[in-house]
Structures are given as C-alpha cells and as structure tokens.
Structure 1
C-alpha cells in the first residue's frame, strides 16, 4: 500500500488522463456545425461520427468517470494528516515527535553500548574457558 500523497498524485494523474480523453473524444466526434447558419453543413465522406445517442452516452460515461475520480481525490485529501489542524498544532506535534525520536536514539545508543559490553564479557569468558581447558590438558 502506498502512502496517501502518492495515492493523491496517482489519482491526479488519472484525472488528467480522463480529462484529456474526454476532451479528445468530444473534439474528434462532435457533429460539424457551420459558423454561419446560412451556410450549408459540410459532410466529410471519410468520417463516420457516432450516433447522437452513442455520443451522448459516451459523454455521460466520461462525465461520470470525472466525477468519481474527483470524489476519490477529495476522499484522499480529507484523510491527509493535518487537514483541520492548525499550524501551531502541527508544529507542536512535530516538536513532540522530535523529542520522541531523540529519546529513542538515546535508548538505541544505550542498547548498543550494553550489547558491546556483553559481547566483550562473552569473549573474555570464552578466552578464560579456553585458557582453563588448555591448562588442564
């Protein structure tokens, strides 16, 4: 699972793709309309536009995709940490987390020192046992 910011970025990219697809579809499939109503409608024999029903249903589907993706983005934004929290509260939280990190680093350092002392003790005991065994033989 990715973090929320990555999810948000992916959804934004997907929304941009959907918007581009919608604009491209409408641009490529719309019915031609003359600029001057008195002019005759031009018909391209090489172009087969979709029926009005298909065009409208495709537009509806694209609009639905845009709405759903936008809702997904808004949901992710609402779950981001810090939404609805003041700047002072965020700074206080960061300060508390820094203090917790410092304390954890101190505990880690103490544990490493303790481990090194225990390793030295075990090594010295191994050497003593080895010396004692070699002297008894």
Structure 2
C-alpha cells in the first residue's frame, strides 16, 4: 500500500471513529499533498509525500516554539498533536551510526576533500537520508569531515 493510500485509509477510519482532531490533521496533510500535485501537475510518489510531511513537521516545530514563547499551551498542544500524527507517516529515523556510515560512503564515492566538494557529497547522501535524518545535522557532519 502506498503512503497516500495509507493516509486516505487513516482518514476514513478517523471519520468512522468520529475523531475530529485526528481527522482535521489528516485532512490538512491531504490538502498539502493535493496542493503540491496541482501546482506541479504530477502525481506524488512516496518520496515526494515524505518531503511534504517533512516540511509540515518543520512548520509545526517552529509554531510550537513561537507558542511556547507566548505562553499559549493550548496552541502548543494542538500543534504537538499534529506533529505527532505527521511523524507516524515518516520512515523510521536512522541511527547516528547509520548516518555516519552513509556520509562516509558519500565522501568516498564523491572523492571530496574540501568544503567546495560539499555539494557533491550532499547530492549522493541526500536521497538516502531524506526524511530519515535531520539534514541540518547531516550538513554539519559533512562540514566537520571536510574541514578536518
């Protein structure tokens, strides 16, 4: 079953169970997927859907941070609920050792030695890590390796 089919099935089960909060969050996700498909005139595959979910997760994290600063716990709880739901559709996160191994292999495959080669390394590593690792942390790891 594709990721999109799974999301649609979860929406139907949330409707049957009358879980309005869960249903609303799933509908937001489906709307974001549909918007991307309409904008680009394509049918999104699982990888592209994961990218949409990842973007939505980043937005939720930013919102949670802002709401905490404003002492709005009700809004923090709502955003956290959506973030938790979105996380269920993401692939299992890689361990630090697995990320390290992929970065090491990408550096070796690209023949990178300096910071100017970082783009080559990222191009090799990103497809394997997208949605499964924090790309900011991966970028910092690659920078540390190339400057050392």
TM beyond 0.5: no
TM-score norm. by structure 2 comes to 0.20
